[in-house]
Amino acid sequence: MSREFKSTFSDLLQDFLDYKRSAGYKYTSEVPLLIQFDDLCCSMNISVPVITKELMDIWCQKKPYESHRSSYQQRISCIRQFSMYLMASGYESYIPVNLEYIRQRKSPYSAYIFTHAEMEEIFMQSNRIYPNRRSTMHLVMPVLIRLLYCTGLRVMEALNLKLEHIDLVNGILRIEKAKFNKDRLTPVSDSMLDILKQYCAVMHPLYRPEEYLFIGITRERYSHHNVYLRFREVLVQAGIKHAGRGYGPRIHDIRHTHCCHVLQKATQEGADLSNMLPALSTYMGHESLAATSQYMKMTAEVYPDILSAVTKVCAYAIPEVQP
């Protein structure tokens, strides 16, 4: 960082920055925003480390140069995160809620959770993709689908994997520059590790660390679009109806399914979900526990028999709403 913070929040801003980076966030583009906030606090002669509604209202005023919604929202979100950090640290702090932004981000799509039987059928049909000398899809799809289900990776996280990111000795995947510009390490099961070893022996006999894991005959990485189209074919062969583009099921729903099946198994085994939730949140690369809590609601909807266990943990995050 080119300069130190100077306001009454200086130590807390630096602590917040260190905290975010220790959690795997790059937090480089946010530094100028934190400096802007620090300057605002100096100009307003803020003497105590409390973010009031008045201070936040001034910060949330849109600037003339902020023509793109994304730049404005990034500025607001950054200090909102800082305000939440202060609250968690025991300080008084006002947290703004931008209802317009929330409405704009709402999606009409509801996640599709595959049943265990449907996943078995998907695995089976991916194994039956007919070999073609002009394509490697018959080798790629069975491994990719299993990797998504076993790890809960986002599709592009898997497609962006290079050989240098994969530790075939210890069974660790290094996910770089994922959503929210976050890095993380993801372990894989012994069975998935064996599959990866067999796949690499066929597709990557000459180890080139810069090569992508999932490649075509030209040695180029497969695109999300190519994988999406082939996954739809697998769904048809598996007898799972697709409602059309934008309605799913999508290949990304395998990630949702992974999380729900993990929670289902944990509940059936009597695991303490309140202790498990933070670990699962980190493993999935979520920005907050609230995002992971949504999976608990989905799990309870799909598997009603575990509703009582889930409600005890996430009722605070998913309150009842009167019709």
284 versus 192: which is more confidently predicted? 192
What mean pLDDT comes out for the span 86-96?
Answer: 81
> Taking 90 as the threshold, does the pLDDT of residue 21 lie above it?
no
- pLDDT per residue over 45-61, tens digit each? 999 999 998 998 899 88
Question: How many Å apart are CA 211 and CA 219, to the nearest integer?
Answer: 8
> Taking 80 as the threshold, does the pLDDT of residue 172 lie above it?
yes
Percent of the chain with pLDDT strictly greater than 70? 78
- pLDDT per residue over 54-82, tens digit each? 998 899 888 887 766 678 888 888 898 89
pTM of the predicted structure, to 2 decimals: 0.62
Is the four-CA dihedral 281, 285, 286, 292 of positive or negative sign?
negative
Question: How many Å apart are CA 135 and CA 153, to the nearest integer?
Answer: 24
For residue 199, give both structure tokens: 């796949």
Phi, psi of 237 (to 5 degrees): -65, -30
**Mean per-residue pLDDT over the chain, rounded:** 81
- pLDDT per residue over 23-38, tens digit each? 778 888 899 999 999 9
pLDDT band at 239 (very low <50, low <70, confident <90, very high): very high
Give pLDDT, residue 2: 43
Give pLDDT, residue 105: 47
Give pLDDT, residue 156: 92
Question: How many Å apart are CA 44 and CA 246, to the nearest integer?
Answer: 48
Burial of 287 (0-12, 13-18, 19+ CB in 10 A): middle
Question: How many Å apart are CA 102 and CA 98, to the nearest integer?
Answer: 6
